[in-house]
Chain A
Amino acid sequence: MAINAGNINEVELKSSLRKETIKSIKKDWQLYSLLILPIIYYIIFKYGPLYGNIIAFRKYVPGGPVYGTEWVGFRYFEMFITDPTFWNVFKNNIILSVGSLIFGFPLPIIFALLLNELSNGLFKRVVQTTSYLPHFLSAVIVAEIIMEMLSPTSGVINMLIKTLGGEPIHFLASPEWFRPIYWISGIWQETGWGAIIYLAALSNISPELYEAAAIDGAGRWQQTVHITIPGIMPTIIILLILNIGGLMGVGFEKILLLYNPLTYSTADVISTYLYRMGLESNNFSYATAIGLFESIIGFTLVTVANYVSRKLTDTSLW
């Protein structure tokens, strides 16, 4: 066996790398020891059940074996890929969630910054607390409130339209209104809640920075731009990456309660379509195949977003 110089170098390099790793593990063994329990947790509770996805490729019958009864290959994937309705609801799904991201993501940041500018501590607390109340209402109650507000005859919104001389709008029967209703109600429900995390991040910024800036003559606006926003930037970026990865998710229950056959064209999403199909036969395999498809999209998106962020900024998930 002829061992050339290059190989020797590589071997040496490898062994020195290994040595370094061992050294660092030795040095940080306490740090590593903390990881043991969580990693066991992830293996058991998150990776353990993953075998369930096999039924996307195997036929599953409720009450039969969990891993299905026979191989069917990509049959269930073909089923939805060739179903034109699926692509319609897929499109609706994307539009609803991209809209939520575009409108819903910046608002908690702006809201937190505005809260930060309130000088009266008590007032600030009151706003903070009330703003997160809607987060606690169940979808059923939110839907009831929306339906009442939007009623063409008795709803507040239409009364306003009427007093302004307009014609009442039958919002819930109009496909073009469904998306705005979904987005606005989402903003109403989640902005206050979403701001909490930024408020926590804001409190992490050292007041010394502000004092120094004030001495330099920076106004509030400049302080916000040069200190506050950079201070919470890592949090913003991380949350943005995570939200991009969660793009396939929509508020199933809210949609189910608010839509009707008249608004299917814009309101129907993957989960509601599956739900209606499932009423007839509980086709777990089909649902799992679609779920797997969504997972792949989500994971791909988060990986790409993470990559871009790592290149452009200093912050990334991994």
Chain B
Amino acid sequence: MSKGLKNVFIAILVVFMSLSLFAGCGSDDQTGTGDNEQPVQTGQSDESAQPSEADDDNVSFHSDQPLKFSLLYSSNPDYPYKEDWLIWKAIKDKTNVSFDVMVVPMSDYAQKRSLLISTGDAPYIIPKTYHPDEVQFIPSGAILPVSDYVDKMPNFSRQVKEWGLEDEINTYKQKDGKYYLLPGLHEILTPDYGVAMRTDILEKNNIPLPNTWDEMYEALKKLKQLYPDTYPLSDRYQAKSLLNIAAPTFGKAAAGWGAGDGVYYDRDNDKFIFYPTTDDYKNFLAYFNKLIKEGLMDPESFTQNDDQAIQKFVTGKSFVISANSQHLTGLRKTMDETVGKDAYEVKKLIPPAGPAGPVITGSRLENGIMISSKAKDDPNFEQMLKFIDWLWYSDEGQILCKWGVEGTTYKRTADGKFELMPDITFQWMNPSGTKDLRKDFGFGNGVFILMYGGPKYLAESYMSPEDLEFVNEVNSKRELLPAAPPILYDEGEREQANMLSTPLMDYVESMTLKFILGDASLESDWDKYVQDCKQKGSDRLVELANKVYQSTKDVLK
């Protein structure tokens, strides 16, 4: 007995030891094909591609040999990755290309991407990258300067030229004059964030729809008189969207609040200034401070979470809230039950105009693709470039990614409009459909498309009539501020700027909220605030920015 037990214990020990050893060996052959090896290469050279001219100038792509490219895939929890989606087959049928997919949950995509690139395990194609996230990977040479290869990407080059995106692409350039991210492209600007209002309440009380911030103030004021127990404006997104929209209308220099380092481009004088200490910025703060002081805006707007803000809006405790089109649909769905269908009306207003005019900021570039440097050594590298060009930038590729397979997921009407098959639903389309274009087929997938990106007709094909109206209204009534030129820091300068701006902007952000909420006074505390900013290095930061800007101007032309 005693010996038996002892033996059992030793046996367990041995098993565990060997298990842990085998863990190493056993899985080695698995990984051999799995991760650190290059994707299976069956096709070989350029000749196998048969670029054929489609209608308009779109260049099509098909490989004679089956090809496989590795892809980093950000899996959206709304439509988690599925191996058997039709989109994979559809791409394969069209191009003879399939993906070796590395699935990463969207919630922590950036972290895994950084780890994979750092350890040399990154797939060839790395989409869903937001500028300037690519910048950190440039010094090591881990990602390709894609600008060197755009001549092999006819669809991309054509879109950039035809849609006049050169200036915006310029803002992606680095000190070497190259850019490292293939951005997603929009033919038209498709702003989405606006201010949603309970238009039925406004109408009932004869309050006109506000077109400017002053009119907004008047409207809120009347609402407050009529409903003294409410905060007429109680915002979501911690009011970031609202401030984002408002900031540029108080002074054209501002190109976005809360993001960046406080250094903004002053076009009139062709130099950079520190915006948060200007009078324009002060006026902007004064406006929101007035809203808070008079009880027109909920002071919780800056700290509450979205659900709390929504709750106030749908229960009639507030009448104004920031929204985008998807969130607007959500609000309506809830209010149909809480307020009652037809008992309310909500409309998303275009961004109000301010003292600096009816201006908005925005970009027609969006998240895009990085390409791993090791892809360059692949015999099928050129094929891959052409494939990327086709899938993300040709009309044909984008129709496939957005709408799927004609006759299966969609059909085209006589006048060329896209229509989903009756039992397929997507966003606002076919709400009674039983299958979802994204969840069940993988089309309309954020990895391959930008919701309202691409050519105008394709962007519009996705928009609900209401969205379309909103986008058209913004484009016709608002003026887009031109993009600021990039400051081409080198690595050391960027580090220096970053070390200065993080604590500085922390201070600015906290003072911004204090000024708005009235915890700090714009009369008595402003001068000290300006002094503190200087003391925290705002002057040095601006000086650095201007020095770099002036000395690298020629790189951009």
> Is A172 close to B, CB under 8 A?
yes
In the bound complex, CA of A83 to CA of B114 (Å): 27
A276 touches B502 (CB 8 A): yes
Query: Is B356 located at the chain interface by the 8 A CB criterion?
Result: no
Q: Is A298 an interface residue (CB 8 A)?
A: no
Given A151-B300, A172-B303, CB of A282 within 8 Å of CB of B136: yes
Q: Which residue of B lies closest to A283 (CB)?
A: B495
Interface readout for B435-446 with A: 1 if CB under 8 Å, 0 if not?
Answer: 000000000000
Q: Which residues of A contact B238 (CB under 8 A)?
A: 260
Contact between A62 and B140 (Cβ–Cβ < 8 Å)?
yes
A134 to B: closest C-beta gap in Å: 19
Asked whether A63 and B143 contact (CB < 8 A) given A173-B299, A277-B502, A281-B494, the answer is yes
Which residues of chain A from 149 to 178 have any CB-CB distance to chain B below 8 Å in the complex?
151-154, 170, 172-173
Q: Say whether A153 contacts B312, CB under 8 Å.
A: yes
Q: Is B28 engaged at the interface, CB distance under 8 Å to the other chain?
A: no
Q: Taking the complex as formed, is B227 at the interface, i.e. its CB lies under 8 A from any CB of chain A?
A: no
The CA of A144 and the CA of B53, in the complex, are separated in Å by 54
A173→B510 contact, CB < 8 A = no
For this complex, into which size category does the number of interface residues on chain B fall? 35 or more
Other-chain residue from B136, B137, B308, B509 in contact with A151 (beta carbon distance below 8 A): B308
On whether the beta carbons of A173 and B135 are closer than 8 Å, the reply is: no
Tell me, in angstroms, the Cα distance from A262 to B491 when the chains sit together. Answer: 31
CB pair A64 B502 closer than 8 Å: no
Query: In this assembly, does A224 line the interface, its C-beta being within 8 Å of a C-beta of chain B?
Result: no
Query: Which residues of chain A are within 8 angstroms of B307 by Cβ–Cβ distance?
Result: 144, 148
Contacts of B17 on A, CB cut-off 8 Å? 37
Interface residues of B in 488-519 (CB under 8 A from A): 491, 494-495, 498-499, 501-503, 506, 509-510, 512-514, 517, 519
Whether the Cβ atoms of A173 and B517 lie closer than 8 Å is: yes
Inter-chain contact B299/A64, CB cutoff 8 Å: no
CA distance A260 to B16 in the complex (A): 49
B137 near A63 (CB under 8 angstroms)?
yes
Closest to A88 in B: B503
* Docked complex Cα distance between A95 and B510 (Å): 21
**In the bound complex, how far is the Cα of B133 from the Cα of A282, in angstroms?**
9
CA distance A25 to B336 in the complex (A): 79
- Cα of A37 to Cα of B20 in the assembled complex, Å: 10
- Judge whether A173 and B117 touch: CB under 8 Å: no
With a cutoff of 8 Å between Cβ atoms, the chain B residues found around residue A273 in the complex are 502
Whether B304 lies near A147 (C-beta < 8 A) is: yes
Chain A interface: which size bin?
20 to 34
User: A residues within 8 A CB of B494?
Assistant: 280-281
Contact B509 A261 (CB under 8 A): yes
Does the CB pair A62–B137 fall under 8 Å?
yes
Give the contacting residue for A83; candidates B118, B304, B503; CB below 8 A.
B503
User: Hey, what's the 0/1 contact readout for A38-77 against B, CB within 8 Å counting as 1?
Assistant: 0000000000000000000000011110100000000000
Decide if A261 touches B512 in the complex (CB within 8 Å).
yes
Q: How far is the CA of A144 from the CA of B307 in the complex (A)?
A: 9
> A280 — which chain B residues lie within 8 A by C-beta?
261, 494, 498, 501-502
A143 neighbours in B (Cβ, 8 Å): 305
- Whether B300 and A261, one on each chain, are in contact in the complex, defined by CB atoms closer than 8 angstroms, is no
Residues of chain A within 8 A of B506, CB atoms compared:
85, 261, 264, 268, 276
Judge if A11 is at the interface, Cβ distance under 8 Å: no
Expressed in whole angstroms, the Cα–Cα distance for A288 and B155 within the complex equals 43
Does B40 have its Cβ within 8 Å of any Cβ on chain A?
no
B113 to chain A, nearest CB (A): 10
Instruction: Indicate if B407 sits at the interface (CB-CB under 8 A).
Output: no
The answer, yes or no, to whether A79 is at the interface (CB within 8 Å) is yes
**Contacts A62-B136, A153-B312, A154-B311 given; does A262 touch B302 at CB 8 Å:** yes
Contact A281 B136 (CB under 8 A): yes
Does chain B have a CB within 8 A of A265?
Answer: yes
A170 engages B502 (CB within 8 Å) = no
Q: Given A63-B140, A63-B142, A280-B498 in contact, is the A262-B305 Cβ separation under 8 Å?
A: no
**Are A85's CB and B503's CB within 8 A?**
yes
Q: With A and B bound together, what is the CA distance between A63 and B503 in angstroms?
A: 27
- Considering only CB atoms, which chain A residue lies closest to B298 in the complex? A153
CB of A173 within 8 A of CB of B303, answer yes
Alpha-carbon distance between A132 and B308 when the two chains are bound, in angstroms? 27
Shortest distance from the beta carbon of B309 to any chain A beta carbon, whole Å? 10
Knowing A262-B302, A262-B303, A265-B510, say if A148 contacts B136 (CB, 8 Å).
Answer: no
The residue from A62, A147, A264, A281 contacting B498, defined by CB atoms under 8 A apart: A281
- Give chain B interface residues in 284-324, CB to chain A under 8 Å: 298-300, 302-305, 307-308, 311-312, 317
Q: Is B139 an interface residue (CB 8 A)?
A: yes
Residue from A66, A261, A282 having most chain B Cβ neighbours under 10 A: A261
Q: What are the residues of chain B within 8 A of A170 when measuring CB–CB?
A: 299-300, 303
**In the complex, chain B residues 101-149 whose Cβ is within 8 Å of any chain A Cβ:** 114, 117-120, 135-137, 139-143
Residues of A near B519 (CB, < 8 A) are 262
Docked pose: A153 CA to B119 CA in angstroms:
49
Report Cα–Cα, A123/B440, bound state, in Å: 48
In the bound assembly, the distance between CA atoms of A68 and B224 in angstroms comes to 60
| 9 tightest Cβ-Cβ pairs between the two chains A and B | A63-B142, A63-B140, A64-B140, A261-B509, A261-B510, A85-B503, A61-B140, A172-B303, A61-B139
**CB<8 Å pairs between A and B, sample of 10:** A61-B140, A62-B137, A66-B118, A84-B503, A153-B298, A260-B303, A261-B512, A262-B514, A280-B498, A281-B135
Q: B residues touching A (Cβ–Cβ < 8 Å)?
A: 13, 16-17, 20, 114, 117-120, 135-137, 139-143, 238, 261, 298-300, 302-305, 307-308, 311-312, 317, 491, 494-495, 498-499, 501-503, 506, 509-510, 512-514, 517, 519
13 extra interchain contacts, Cβ-Cβ under 8 A, other than A62-B114, A63-B139? A62-B142, A63-B143, A66-B118, A147-B303, A147-B308, A148-B305, A148-B308, A154-B308, A173-B303, A262-B519, A264-B509, A276-B502, A281-B498
